[in-house]
Amino acid sequence: MSGLALQNVVKEFGSFRAVNNVELTVPHGTFVCMLGPSGCGKTTLLRMIAGLDLPTGGAIRLDGEDITHVPTHKRNLGMVFQSLALFPHLTVGENIAYPLRIRKAPKEDQKRRVEELLSMIHLSGYADRPVSKLSGGQRQRVAIARALAISPKLFLLDEPLSALDAKLREAMQVELRQLQQRLGITTIVVTHDQREAMTMADTVVVMNGGEIRQAASPIEIYRRPADSFVADFIGQTNLIEAEADTQGHVSVLGQSVPGLALPSGEAKATLSIRPEDVHLTAPGAGAISGTVTFVRDLGGTIETFVDVAGRQIVAVSTPRERPDVTVGQQVGVALTPDVCVVLRK
């Protein structure tokens, strides 16, 4: 099949298992973001796909062909490094032409392709500048153009936007996504920024401890997290323990919640409720009751902190639906089945 496939990929450094039995298929033309805290193995996984590190076990296939042991320079890929790794002794044009020069492309072809790429990254006329004279965002775009010079089968980026300031980063995320869609190139980005992943990806792969915790579309990752790690890592959430008695009646924090059900046979589970899904009502009547401890009004959003039996639940609302509560007031927190995601333990 066309695309990239990771089969049971394992990487060990000494006795430390950095990547543990990773299974992943990336169909041709999709944009994948590998997301996780630092040390979760995402960069190691990317380096193995690039051939810069050899897997301890498993196989990597590209368009059905086993490339596990193909050396990096024969994989025909493009990669953007966190440090960008632009060659300081070459000009912008020479940097972009480097992969073409290495492949001994005719001089005229090199020149034409460099012009093409420079106009694609909106830097026409910069070919003869030294890379040291560029701004951060321009260097970023040159690194991207250089990686795309040979129209690679696979476009890999390792924390590509982390060196940019917040505003430029957001703009580059959009630009990168639009570029990828225009070129239809299979792209894998490693990031620890979940906003970045949500903005760009077709598929978000959440990793922790060397394992894939969930691989799905951004909205599914957000709405239907597979476990409490994913729920907590992607955006803000309230994680609350729920218990079921033998009849299947569910209680949360010691208060029974009718209408809620746990997977059959489970006595305990964790509920994930996004703050924007928490509705504050009058106490009683199908809601668990608590006390308002703090109201943070940020102008655009209002966060209400409610203490229920020692646990803090955060509710976020817009100014339009501002809850009429004050600190110390008794309120009810409505837990309807449609907003509670039941997570496996």
Partner 1 sequence: MRREPPQTVGDYTPLLFPAAMLTIFFVVPFGTMIAVSFFQRQQGGFYTPAFVFDNYARFLTAFFGGVLGFSLMMAIAVAICCVVLALPFTYMLTRMARSVQVVWLVALLSVLSLSEVIIGFAWSTLFSRTAGITNILVALGLMGEAKALTPSFAAVLTGMVYQAFPYTVLVLFPALVRLDPTLTEAARTLGASPLKAFFTVVVPALRNTIVATLIMVFIFALGSYLLPQLLGRPQHWTLSVLITDQAIYQSNMPFAAAMAVFLVLVTLGLVALTVIAGRKGEAA
Using CB atoms within 10 Å of the CB of residue 21, give its burial: 0 to 12 exposed, 13 to 18 middle, 19+ buried: middle
| Closer residue to partner 1 (CB): 103 or 296 | 103
Tokens of 230: 């994913």
Contact 170, 200 (CB under 8 A): no
Those residues with Cβ within 8 angstroms of residue 96's Cβ, 6 or more apart along the chain or in another chain: 113, 114, 117, 118, 127, 142, 145, 146, 149
23 in Cβ contact with 17 (< 8 Å): no
Shorter beta-carbon distance to partner 1: residue 147 or 313: 147
Q: Where are the alpha helices (DSSP H) in 184-280?
A: 194-200, 218-223, 228-233
Site for partner 1 (CB under 8 A): which residue of 69, 73, 249, 296?
A: 73
Residue 35 near residue 233, CB atoms below 8 Å: yes
Q: How far is the CB of 297 from partner 1 (least distance, A)?
A: 45
Does the footprint of partner 1 cover residue 4 (CB under 8 A)?
no
From 68-76, 133-141, 185-193, 306-314, span contacting partner 1 (CB under 8 A): 68-76
Task: Supply 20's token pair.
Answer: 């543990």
Q: Is 11 in the site for partner 1 (CB under 8 A)?
A: no
SS3 120: helix
Residues 6+ apart with CB under 8 A from 43: 158, 159, 190
Which residue is it, tokens 């990686």? Answer: 147
| Binding of partner 1 by 83 (CB under 8 A) | yes
The site map against partner 1 for 95-134 (x = CB under 8 A) is ---xx--xx-------------------------------
**Please, what is the minimum distance in Å from the beta carbon of residue 192 to partner 1?**
18
With respect to partner 1, which residue has the nearer C-beta, 74 or 320? 74
Q: How far is the CB of 86 from partner 1 (least distance, A)?
A: 8
Q: Which residues contact 46 (CB under 8 A, 6 or more apart)?
A: 34, 156, 158, 188, 190
Q: Should residue 156 be labelled a site residue for partner 1 when binding is judged by CB under 8 A?
A: yes
Report if residue 89 touches partner 1, rule: CB under 8 A: yes
Q: What are phi and psi of 112, to 5 degrees?
A: -65, -45
**Binding partner 1 by CB under 8 A: which of 42, 141, 146, 274?**
146
Interactions with partner 1, residue window 272-301 (CB under 8 A): none
Is residue 69 a contact point for partner 1 (CB under 8 A)? no
Among 37, 71, 248, 319, binds partner 1 (CB under 8 A): 71
Closest separation in Å from C-beta 197 to partner 1: 22
Task: Kindly state the DSSP code that residue 311 receives in the 8-state scheme.
Answer: E
Residue 16, Cβ density class (10 Å: 0-12 exposed, 13-18 middle, ≥19 buried): exposed
Residues touching partner 1, count (CB under 8 A): 28
CA–CA separation, 191 and 181 (whole Å): 19
**Using CB under 8 A, which of 10, 27, 52, 181 touches partner 1?**
52
User: Can you list the alpha helix ranges (DSSP code H) found in 24-103?
Assistant: 42-50, 92-102
Q: Which is nearer to partner 1, 43 or 214 (CB)?
A: 43
Q: What is the closest distance, in whole angstroms, from the C-beta atom of residue 71 to partner 1 in the complex? A: 7
User: Does 87 sit near partner 1 (CB under 8 A)?
Assistant: yes
CB of 97 to partner 1, least distance (A): 10
Residue closer to partner 1, measured from CB, 100 or 226: 100
Tell whether residue 78 is a contact of partner 1 (CB under 8 A): yes
Q: Which residues bind partner 1 (CB under 8 A)?
A: 50-52, 71-73, 75-79, 81-83, 85, 87-90, 98-99, 102-103, 146-147, 149-150, 156
